[in-house]
Amino acid sequence: MPSDAVPATSPAAPPGAFDRGLLAPVAVGHDELVSDDAVLAALVRAELGLVRAWEALGAVPADAADAIAAAWGADAGPEQPGPLAIEGAELAAASVGGGNPVIPLVSLLRLALVPGLRAWVHRGATSQDILDTALMLVSRQAVDAVLADLAEAEAALAAFAQEHRDVVAAGRTLAQQAVPTTVGRRAAGWLGGIRRARIRLQQLALPAQLGGAAGTRASFLELGGPAAAELPARYAEELGLDDAGAVWHTSRWPVTELADALAQTTDALGKLAGDVVTLSRTEIAELSAGAGGGSSAMPQKSNPVAAVLIRSAALRAPQLAATLHLCAALAEDERPAGAWHAEWPTLRELLRITLGASAHAARLASVLRVDREAVARNLALTNGLILAERLSLVLTPLIGAERVAALVAAAASGADAAALIAALPEADGLDIPALLEPANYIGDAAAAVDRVSGKVES
């Protein structure tokens, strides 16, 4: 390709692109931040960030650094750089020979400069420094987008939980009705899980990488003298990333901690989605999620597609995170052979599906609706047996466990529970209607809603 005027890449997938999301609909429209173009832009930002870090130490003249930035059409600030004069598909093909895209990229970046500037490109760095840093840049933007979606979902769920704070519903354990709960308490559970995931994402360290050939930083000290000891911190600062202090070429905690936080996020979103799928079943119908998706064969259906797509991400994320842990455990010597390479697409896919899941969750939370009649109908299905635990607690001291068991069995066979209790001499004085009122046996459900939904943070 020409060294001075290579066509700019486009954020849209070109004809013949391998992956447009045809088999990953959860991510369609939400994965541009982790596209090949985004990674390529981050690689250039990482290289320019190194030039700027050397400049900050006084090693590179300011006018030289500015000329390099202008020639590359990029900037080392935290925002996404402009169009890149590098064709991603050709760079990908050229990366096969060396096993990573940084090697051919450095050659192209040098060729784009006048000879006097080329010595400042990739000065002292190794390919892993640039690629690790670029992936952290991409991750930072992706995590920020996920955080925005989670905050939106939290706000919607907090309002939903408060609106339905006192709507008594059938609680279910092991797929069967158990004891009463409230719609708001269930929503507070979704909200709490999403909030914890958001907090964990906010606490992540996403560091720059700068270790040199084998992690000793010898090249930087050789080129820059004692002052170059400050270079890693300056590099992180230039790129808006964290300074890890130590080199993490084979200590892959930034990747695994990120993976764990992303998996926790999809876990929390998957819980929301799973409950929506169950509670929107035709025969339950307690929840609806706006206009659903249709069926190719059954025109009457309104499928909870957003929830389905979120679940698809939640089912995949743990295995992707596990792969990244395996890669970390097998990061041998001072540069992993294969384990490092396996991280790249795995981390990108995990970011990709989390971006999609969080975007769908934000919308899903905003359109959730409750059918209160269906909730009440389902609550009454067991003819009062949903309060069997309460009856046991109240009546056992009066009539003993065996007689309580017999009473519950009779009620399960169709007898009227209120009449059975009223016939007990020992129950004289009990307020039977109050005893059999589900709303009187919801524990601290209302307080739990208030605690969780009153702490929404932007």
Give the CA radius of gyration of the chain: 29
Contact 161, 184 (CB under 8 A): yes
> Is position 123 annotated as part of the catalytic site?
no
Q: Is 285 exposed, middle or buried (0-12, 13-18, 19+ CB in 10 A)?
A: middle
Are 302 and 310 in contact by the 8 Å Cβ rule? The answer is no
Question: Please, are residues 128 and 227 in contact by the beta-carbon 8 Å criterion?
Answer: no
Listing DSSP states for 69-109 in one string gives HHHHT---SSSPP---SS-HHHHHHHTTTTTSTHHHHHHHH
Adjacent-strand bridge partners of 182: 168
Which residue in 3, 10, 281, 295 is the catalytic one?
295
321 touches 262 (CB < 8 A): yes
Instruction: Tell me the β-bridge partners of 169.
Output: 181
Tell me the C-alpha distance between 216 and 265, whole Å: 35
* Angle, alpha carbons 242-247-249 (nearest 5°): 110
Residue labelled with tokens 């991603």 = 88
Which residue in 427, 5, 53, 426 sits closest to 418, CA to CA? Answer: 427
The residues near 307 (Cβ < 8 Å, ≥ 6 apart) are: 272, 273, 274, 276, 277, 280, 289, 364
- The span from the CA of 322 to the CA of 330, in Å, is 12
Concerning whether 335 is annotated as a catalytic residue, the answer is: yes
Beta-bridge partners for 207: 242
Residue 115, classified by CB atoms within 10 Å of its CB into exposed (0-12), middle (13-18) or buried (19+), is exposed
From 335, 363, 377, 403, active-site residue: 335
- The DSSP secondary structure of 245-307, one letter per residue, reads SS--SS--HHHHHHHHHHHHHHHHHHHHHHHHHHHTSTTT--EEESS-B--SS-TT--B-HHH
**What positions carry a catalytic annotation?**
295, 335
